[in-house]
Each structure stands twice: as C-alpha cells, then as structure tokens.
C-alpha cells in the first residue's frame, strides 16, 4: 500500500509526507519569523522530494517549539504574516499543507490550533485542540469540535493534535463523521514513545481508518522530541515508520478507497458499525441502545470517576500555572470547515502570472 513512499502512485492513492521537523528554539519575534521561513522552505523540500505528494504535514509546535510560552508577542493570528506565508507556500508548490500555530485568544489563553490549506491556498480545515496536555499545557480547551473535510483527491480527512489521540473517543468521532484518514500532529518527547505507537495503531483498527501521525524531532538543548512519523492502515498494521532523524520526510501512499471497501464489506471487526448494531445475528438490526454509563453521565453533566476525590492534579499548579478562576464558555458556532463564524481569516494570496 505504501507504493514505495508514493514513488509508484496508484490512481486512487493519496501521498502524504510527514515532516519530522527539527525541534526549534523560539523565544523572540525574530526567531518566530525565522522559523516561519524554515517551515516554508520545508514545504518546497517536500515538493521536490516527492513530485506526487498530495499533502505535507508538519508536527505540533513546528512554529513555536516546546517552550510552552504564551507571551503575546509570540502568539499568531489567522490574519497574520505566519499564516499568510504558509498559505502562499501551498499555492507556490501546489500542495496541501497541514500546519500548527499557537493562536491568540482575546478572551483567554491562546488556542493550540491546526490548519490545513489546499493547493490553491483555500483554508480547508481549522481545528482547536480539544485536549491540551494538562497539567503541562496552558492552552484554552478547543470549542469547535472536530471538523472532517474533503481532502486531496476527495478523501475524507480529519486532524487531531497530540494528546487528543490518547482518547479513543476522538478517533471514533472522526470516523463517525466519515473520516477515512486521521492526521495526528504532536510535539511528544521520548517517554511517550510506546503509548504513541499503540494508540496510533488502535485508533486505526478500532475505526477502520488510516492514521498518519508525526512528532517533532531532535533536541532543543532541553527536550528531546522523537520524530517517529508513522502511517497505520485500517487493520492496525504499520505501513511506514520513521526513526528519529530530524527533518526526514516520511512518505506513504494512502488508499482511502480501501477504507471505504472495508467499511462496506467487513463482517467481523466492523466495529464502527457494530457499536450501534450489537448482536445483530440474534436480534433484527442489533441492539440499538447506549449501554455505556459514562456517555449518559457526560451528556447529563454528572460524569464522576469512582476515584475522583483522590485525583491529585486538577489544575496547572504543579507546572507553575496559577489556578484558573473563569469557567469554560462552551462550544462556539463554526462553519462546515470548522472555522469559527466570527474568526478573522487571511485574504487569499493571488499567484503571480
């Protein structure tokens, strides 16, 4: 299925490049501008590396590094120069691109945001990380849900970010909305290596969905990110896997048409369907109920773990953050691509003749 990393591209193939980007140090606006230029240059490298590549994917924190700084001068807006540069790179190299920004939020802490531009510079997907890696990350919890879009060559495409992938509900939501390919971008460091691998595989198999995931790579003098771009097929097998070489672009041909085929024709282990049709051999159509207490309790606002009172870390104090005093505002209205209806979006960049 990998098609030798897309060298032998099939008519139904979608070639994805996962950039194991060198972990940067970004502490000043000048460094932010330099890292923006570096990412743009890597888009060009991706295109030269693989003329048939459809989508290039950069890891979480590719622009900001792992300082976790929320300094206003380092935060990015959707109508700012960094996002405009990423858009222009996709236009110039005629490639879809997935990027990571820490986005200014006038009403609270910044958002950890993922964006995808298509090869004409259109903003195709906008996602705010639902599950910040607490207590380490101070980002505002996402409030737009998980958008699923029509991606390259008509594939159904979703994006989640790092810690999101540790929650099986996230991958199930992507599949439930029709995603055939789920991207997972991350800044994870080496201690998470085992969990990274098994969750990428489990998320794929449990949902009959391809997962394509990538971390930052190398050291910034403090942290060591692990790279390890990997693509897992819908049966959970690993199709390609990178190592820990910074700036390596791990490529693979993905076959969303085979995902559709499996979802239609699999009997045993067609888990997304069988979740709502359990025991259909015994009863017509299967039992169509919700036997899961935690789902009812979440909807009813009464979710509580048996060990809730014993949980030690319930805010960011252990990582030096003051306890928050404001409550979550709730979901924000968004369009079909996940972009908040009120959000500023950079004007399209017109290619020179």
332 — pLDDT class (breaks 50, 70, 90): confident
pLDDT of 192-236, one tens digit each?
A: 999 999 999 999 999 999 999 999 999 999 999 999 999 999 999
Q: What is the 3-class SS of 16-49, one letter each residue?
A: EEEECCECCCCCCHHHHHHHHHHHHHHHHHHHHH
* DSSP 3-state of 170: helix
7 — pLDDT class (breaks 50, 70, 90): confident
Backbone dihedral region for residue 5 (phi beyond 0: left; psi -120 to 50: alpha; all else: beta): left
342 or 126, which is more confident: 126
Q: Which residues contact 263 (CB under 8 A, 6 or more apart)?
A: 208, 270, 272, 273
pLDDT of 12-31, one tens digit each?
A: 999 999 999 999 999 999 99
CA pair distance 12, 206, nearest whole angstrom = 23
**Maximum C-alpha span of the chain:** 66
Per the domain annotation, does 146 fall within a domain?
yes
351 — pLDDT class (breaks 50, 70, 90): very low
Quote the number of domains for the chain.
Answer: 1
The token pair that represents 36 in the structure block: 């923006």
- For residues 18 and 214, the answer to whether their CB atoms sit within 8 Å is yes
* 156-161 vs 148-150, strand pairing mode: antiparallel
Per the domain annotation, does 325 fall within a domain?
no
Per the domain annotation, does 83 fall within a domain?
yes
Per the domain annotation, does 349 fall within a domain?
no
Per the domain annotation, does 334 fall within a domain?
no
Q: What confidence score (pLDDT) does residue 350 get? A: 38
Q: Which helix (H) or strand (E) holds 298?
A: helix 293-299
User: pTM of the entire structure?
Assistant: 0.94
Q: Rounded mean pLDDT of 324-350?
A: 68
Per the domain annotation, does 350 fall within a domain?
no
Which stretches within 177-292 are classed as H helix? 193-207, 256-265, 271-274
159 — pLDDT class (breaks 50, 70, 90): very high
- For residues 250 and 243, the answer to whether their CB atoms sit within 8 Å is no
345 — pLDDT class (breaks 50, 70, 90): low
* Domain of residue 50, residue span: 3-319
Just list the catalytic residues: 60, 129, 162
Per the domain annotation, does 264 fall within a domain?
yes
* Cα dihedral across residues 175, 176, 177, 178: positive or negative: positive
CATH classification of the domain holding 151: 3.60.110.10
Per the domain annotation, does 38 fall within a domain?
yes
Q: What confidence score (pLDDT) does residue 2 get? A: 63
Torsion (CA) 300, 165, 95, 115 in degrees, nearest 10: 50
Nearest to 164 by CA among 182, 181, 149, 152: 182
């Amino acid at each position: 299925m990998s098609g030798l990393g897309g060298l032998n591209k099939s008519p139904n193939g979608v070639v994805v490049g996962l950039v194991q980007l060198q972990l940067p140090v970004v502490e000043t606006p000048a460094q932010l501008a330099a890292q923006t230029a570096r990412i743009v240059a890597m888009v060009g490298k991706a295109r030269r590396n693989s003329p048939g590549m459809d989508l290039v994917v950069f890891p979480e924190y590719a622009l900001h590094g792992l300082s976790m700084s929320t300094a206003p001068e380092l935060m990015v807006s959707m109508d700012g120069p960094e996002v405009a540069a990423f858009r222009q790179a996709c236009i110039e190299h005629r490639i879809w691109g997935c990027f990571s920004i820490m986005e200014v939020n006038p009403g609270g802490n910044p958002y950890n945001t993922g964006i995808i531009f298509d090869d004409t510079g259109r903003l195709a997907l906008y996602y705010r990380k639902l599950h910040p890696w607490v207590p380490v990350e101070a980002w505002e919890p996402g409030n737009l849900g998980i958008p699923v879009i029509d991606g390259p060559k008509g594939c159904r495409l979703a994006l989640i970010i790092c810690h999101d992938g540790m929650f099986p509900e996230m991958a199930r939501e992507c599949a439930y909305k029709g995603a055939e390919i789920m991207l997972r971008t991350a800044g994870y460091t080496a201690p998470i290596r085992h969990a990274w691998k098994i969750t990428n595989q489990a998320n794929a198999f449990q949902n009959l969905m391809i997962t394509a995931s990538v971390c930052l790579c190398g050291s910034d003098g403090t942290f060591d990110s692990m790279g390890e771009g990997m693509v897992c097929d819908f049966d959970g097998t690993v199709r390609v896997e990178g190592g820990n070489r910074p700036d390596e672009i791990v490529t693979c041909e993905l076959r969303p048409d085979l995902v559709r085929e499996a979802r239609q024709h699999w009997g045993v282990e067609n888990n997304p369907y069988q979740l709502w049709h359990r025991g259909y051999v015994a009863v017509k159509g299967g039992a169509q109920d919700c036997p899961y207490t935690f789902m009812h309790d979440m909807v009813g606002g009464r979710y509580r773990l048996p060990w809730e009172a014993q949980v030690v870390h319930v805010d960011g104090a252990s990582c030096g953050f003051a306890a928050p005093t404001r409550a979550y505002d709730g979901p924000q209205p968004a369009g079909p691509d996940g972009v908040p209806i009120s959000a500023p979006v950079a004007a399209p960049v017109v290619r020179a003749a």
